């Protein structure tokens, strides 16, 4: 099925690529097969290669590293490795025009924007497809009397309604500050949103926040070309280890637009107690509160080197091929009466998608099987997938046809909202099943998963 309608040259290329990634699986991720595990949650978190762990543990065993905020030998060595990692990050993303703020994770990067963006007399525009760490910024905006508006999703393919987006981008000339936030790739549907929106928005006076956490693991991101004002990144999503590290890119020309409302250790060049004066550091350190994770940050260098040794374009091509294979097979699953077994949400156009697929499993009557049941059965087969709403309520609300009126009625009648209570109150199912592929995925994994789904056929 994989090679159908392919030319001989393309077939040979696919076979060669398959051999490369199968070898990668056998050398770097052999623990999966040793434990008979099928891992299909790469959007939740990537898997680390054996070599990265071995390399970093060797580094830790042989190094004496101290808190970077000093000039003693151990501190100086830690500073060298931290700045080496920062330079690697900037080089990898071609981000010379940006400050690279190393953070605890992508959510911590986004919180910096929430805390520091000047939301007074402002407009915060979001796409309805956004992770909750971006959605949550609206509370900072609202608390400072700024306004918030969402651009809706198209029901048919889960893309953004571009007509409405254009209308929103051209509106609100009276606002002093305007911030537009969207994901380069949806963490739920896998839809890749148009990066041309960045310049279009900037040309109309908007600052642009790009959430690249789900995009960067399998797509090239060149910040010399697309130039958003702020970009959030998560490193474990790219190469698995270490968790607890991300970064925020801040365009140097917009650095002073972020007004930090407090200071902490490591963020000030001068502070006094007998007088209320202080001076914040004039670079990335302004936003790196306290002591950075100097023991793990050096692993970022090795992680990015590992990705470069494979090639992000090659990873992109591989993920695209696996996603196409998965979608074709999912769409082919039927019950004995011809009723589809699976309903895949969003566009099936592989050119618009990353390696993330969201769907429901249905019985022979076309009724949804509860995602908890699917997950429970998958757990027993040692298949790691993810279910629920995936910290992205906008996608779930449109997939399950939840209206503003229904949600208003629910929230106005409860003070202690819960998932189960909401489902019961609305009489509508919420949540779905999500699978995602990555550089350690093999066609054998996908075949095992497809066969697992066949167990629901009737």
User: Which are the catalytic amino acids?
Assistant: 391
Backbone angles phi, psi at 434, to 5 degrees: -125, 130
Torsion of CA 341, 346, 348, 349, to 10 degrees: 180
Residues with Cβ within 8 Å of 258's Cβ and at least 6 positions away in sequence, in order, are 112, 113, 116, 117, 250, 287
H/E element, 322: helix 312-331
Residues with Cβ within 8 Å of 134's Cβ and at least 6 positions away in sequence, in order, are 110, 126, 181, 183, 209, 211
- The closest alpha carbon to 191, from 339, 407, 399, belongs to 399
CB 285 within 8 A of CB 248: no
Backbone angles phi, psi at 101, to 5 degrees: -95, 115
DSSP string, 367-402: PBPPHHHHHHHHHHTTEE-EEE-TT-HHHHHHHTT-
Give 23-26 contacts, CB < 8 A, sequence gap 24+.
Answer: 24/49, 24/310, 24/439, 24/440, 25/440, 25/442
DSSP string, 5-54: T--HHHHHHHHHHHHHHHHHHHHHSTHHHHTT-EE-BTTT-PPPPHHHHH
Q: How many residues does the chain have?
A: 458
H/E element, 234: strand 230-234
Question: How do strand 268-271 and strand 278-280 relate by DSSP bridges?
Answer: antiparallel
């Amino acid at each position: 099925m994989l090679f159908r309608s392919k030319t001989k040259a393309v077939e040979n290329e696919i076979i060669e690529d398959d051999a490369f990634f199968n070898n990668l699986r056998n050398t770097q991720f052999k623990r999966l097969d040793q434990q008979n595990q099928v891992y299909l949650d790469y959007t939740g978190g990537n898997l680390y290669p054996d070599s990265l762990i071995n390399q970093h543990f060797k580094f830790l065993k042989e190094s004496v590293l101290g808190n970077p905020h000093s000039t003693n030998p151990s501190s100086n060595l830690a500073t060298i490795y931290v700045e080496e990692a920062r330079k690697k990050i900037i080089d990898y993303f071609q981000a010379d025009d940006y400050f690279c703020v190393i953070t605890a994770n992508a959510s911590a990067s986004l919180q910096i924007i929430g805390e520091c963006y000047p939301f007074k007399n402002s407009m915060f525009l979001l796409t309805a497809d956004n992770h909750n760490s971006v959605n949550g910024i609206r509370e900072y905006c609202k608390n400072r009397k700024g306004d918030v508006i969402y651009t809706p999703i198209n029901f048919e393919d889960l893309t953004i309604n571009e007509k409405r987006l254009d209308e929103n981008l051209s509106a609100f000339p009276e606002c002093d500050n305007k911030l537009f936030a969207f994901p380069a790739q949806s963490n739920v549907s896998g839809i890749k949103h148009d990066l041309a929106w960045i310049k279009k928005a900037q040309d109309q006076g908007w600052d642009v926040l790009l959430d690249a956490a789900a995009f960067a693991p399998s797509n090239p991101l060149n910040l010399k070309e697309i130039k958003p004002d702020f970009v959030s990144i998560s490193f474990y999503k790219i190469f698995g280890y270490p968790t607890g590290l991300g970064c925020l890119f801040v365009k140097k020309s917009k650095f002073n637009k972020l007004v930090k409302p407090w200071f902490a250790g490591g963020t000030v060049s001068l502070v006094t107690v007998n007088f209320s004066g202080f001076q914040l550091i004039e670079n990335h350190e302004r936003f790196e509160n306290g002591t950075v994770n100097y023991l793990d940050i050096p692993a970022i260098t090795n992680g990015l080197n590992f990705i470069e040794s494979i090639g992000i374009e090659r990873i992109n091509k591989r993920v695209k091929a696996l996603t196409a294979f998965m979608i074709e097979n999912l769409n082919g699953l039927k019950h004995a009466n011809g009723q589809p077994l699976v309903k895949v949400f969003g566009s099936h156009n592989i050119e618009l998608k990353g390696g993330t697929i969201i769907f429901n499993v249905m019985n022979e009557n076309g009724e949804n099987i509860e995602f908890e049941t699917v997950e429970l059965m998958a757990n027993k087969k040692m298949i790691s997938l993810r279910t629920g709403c995936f910290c992205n309520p906008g996608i779930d609300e449109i997939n399950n046809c939840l209206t503003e009126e229904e949600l208003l009625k629910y929230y106005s009648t409860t003070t202690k909202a819960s998932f189960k209570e909401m489902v019961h109150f609305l009489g509508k199912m919420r949540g779905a099943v999500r699978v995602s592929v990555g550089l350690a995925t093999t066609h054998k994994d996908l075949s095992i998963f497809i066969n697992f789904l066949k167990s629901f056929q009737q």
